């Protein structure tokens, strides 16, 4: 059984003391494909070090996270573009809109999001979307770039059924993680109405650990817990969830 964690921050300082053991737990749980999003240029070397250490399991994205869109965002976008030109990545991400912490860089976030979508199209890559308290703004940019070569993953999807359908109509798969296991997560109430071909698994480790670990550090081995929850929701085996969601991830990342 092969499980794919489509979004995990393996470079997090929260794994500093036991990263090798954490990686081994993931592999032992069948989570052998781990996709790592970029935040900004300060994390890049850590990403490359991980890739060198675990070349068979770790696959990198490149992008500028919306909460890191600040006064120097044009320099950061230039860095993203230079890295995409220089070497192989498997998606542009994580990119998007976040109005939860700060609304003062709204226009800059919109510009950064749209520019990075255009970079993804240029390099024939999917995108990995971060969206927090910004569904309308995120969809506005996506609609403006709607095309057959726009595709990717709506990371950590927490919207409603209509928003799920809208994301799918724009070429996105839904990244489902620990929130699906929360009693108040809500998405478990309608997920069965979404065809499994539109679903991929993720952890967003070290954040959003699934039950029974909610509130504690998340890690990629817990992808299995998300798969088990989806098996309950869809009334299929965990092996079927693993196979289908891994195939879906291949359609996005190309491997």
Compute mean pLDDT per 10 residues along the chain, 255 residues long, and list them.
Answer: 98 97 98 98 98 98 98 98 98 97 94 98 98 97 98 97 98 97 91 98 98 97 98 98 98 97
At the fourth CATH level, which superfamily is domain 3-8+21-253? Metal-dependent hydrolases (3.20.20.140)
User: Mind giving me the DSSP string for 142-192?
Assistant: HHHT-STT--EEETT----HHHHHHHHHTTEEEEE-GGGGSTT--GGGTGG
Helices (H), 96-156: 106-122, 135-144
Q: Is the whole model's pTM more than 0.75, yes or no?
A: yes
Domain boundaries, the chain: 3-8+21-253
């Amino acid at each position: 059984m092969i499980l794919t964690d489509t979004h995990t921050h393996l470079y997090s300082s929260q794994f500093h003391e036991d990263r090798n053991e954490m990686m081994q737990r993931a592999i032992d749980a069948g989570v052998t494909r781990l996709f790592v999003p970029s935040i900004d240029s300060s994390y890049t070397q850590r990403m490359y070090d991980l890739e060198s250490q675990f070349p068979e399991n770790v696959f990198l994205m490149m992008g500028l996270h919306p909460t890191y869109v600040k006064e120097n965002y044009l320099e950061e976008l230039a860095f993203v573009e230079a890295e995409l030109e220089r070497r192989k990545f498997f998606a542009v991400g994580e990119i998007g809109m976040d109005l939860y912490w700060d609304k003062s860089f709204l226009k800059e976030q919109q510009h950064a999001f749209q520019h990075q979508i255009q970079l993804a199209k240029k390099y024939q890559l999917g995108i990995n979307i971060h969206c927090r308290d910004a569904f309308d703004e995120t969809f506005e940019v996506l609609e403006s770039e709607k095309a057959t070569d726009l595709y990717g993953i709506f990371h950590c999807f927490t919207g409603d059924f209509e928003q799920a359908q809208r994301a799918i109509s724009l070429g996105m798969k839904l990244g489902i993680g620990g929130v699906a296991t929360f009693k108040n997560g809500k998405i478990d109430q309608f997920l069965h109405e979404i065809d499994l071909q539109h679903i991929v698994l993720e952890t967003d480790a070290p954040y959003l650990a699934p039950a029974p670990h909610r509130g504690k550090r998340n890690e990629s081995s817990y992808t299995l817990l998300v798969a088990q929850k989806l098996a309950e929701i869809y009334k299929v085996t965990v092996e079927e969830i693993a196979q289908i969601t891994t195939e879906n991830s291949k359609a996005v990342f190309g491997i």
